[in-house]
Amino acid sequence: MVKVSIPVHEPPRDDYNWPIMPELPEVETMCRGISAAVGGRVRDFKSAGCKKRPILLVPDLKQIRRRVVGERVDAVERAGKRVILRFASGDRLVVEPRMTGLMLVADPPTVEHLRLRIDLSESPLSTLWFWDRRGLGVVRLLSPDQFAAELGPDSLGPDALVVSAAELRTRLETSRRAIKVALLDQRAVAGVGNLYAAEILHVAKIHPELGCHRLSASQWRRLHAAMQMVLVDAIAHEGSTLSDGTYRNALNKSGGYQNCHRVYDREDEDCPTCGKSTVRRIVQAQRSTFFCPRCQPRK
């Protein structure tokens, strides 16, 4: 069951002003990679001894430890771009990877960037690690009341994997924003970021600068179908590991969907779809957007 979540006080609430990775496919892969933790009990919750920039913990480490040690993990869930561990008490540990955060069960990319260690008993997984190279990640522990009060539909839109075509159109069709920018608004639809928005619009044959209010009924149907196809395919490939190599699955292995990108980060390369134009790059909402002008005409 997909749950909802919100950003913390810093940085700003608009996720599309933040780095793109990881997105829904990468976070879904993280959740699946640590799913064996369900049924286990938290034996310890502690810092991994990182001397780099600290991540944000709410409440502090001691308070989180006091509340989660001894608790059983009832579920591993995803809320847009966030991993959630739900405990038998009803408390939820909400992990926001942000730009470089990873949930791991195997050897990390680097030891010095390990941030948190969750030791488990009664589980095939002995330890869950949170690794974050840049220290932008956020970990929050929410009580049932906090979860009910703070993590409602006003904070996060329907998940991009389950939103219906009709609801997607209803939530966006009156907006005068460019469709690419609107897709990055997590309060409209949750999980899509810069990379997958570009890929989805290419598959749907929609120009990224087209205003939401100008999309036709057939374009909305194509957009929804493309969203489902791209995200499901990306999950099957365990996400995208870009040129910086940061994103890894729970076993510290690269994703594979980067080999399937049609337009993202392919500026001036031949479009693999039509073969008759080159991929162009523009900037929208301070983000790079990639598209094919032949496959995605403005009119």
- Tell me which residues are annotated as active site: 22-23, 81, 287
| DSSP code for 54 | P
Query: Are 279 and 263 a contacting pair, CB within 8 Å?
Result: yes
* Among 100, 256, 234, 263, CA closest to 161: 234
Specify the 3-state DSSP secondary structure of 20.
coil
Query: Are 205 and 220 a contacting pair, CB within 8 Å?
Result: no
Strands 101-104 and 114-121: unpaired
Alpha-carbon span 105 to 237, nearest angstrom: 19
Query: Are 141 and 64 a contacting pair, CB within 8 Å?
Result: yes
The gap from C-alpha 157 to its chain's centroid, in whole angstroms, comes to 13
Q: Which residues contact 70 (CB under 8 A, 6 or more apart)?
A: 41, 42
Query: Encoding tokens for residue 79?
Result: 């809320």
289 phi, psi to nearest 5 deg:
-120, 135
Q: Which residues contact 213 (CB under 8 A, 6 or more apart)?
A: 173, 174, 175, 176
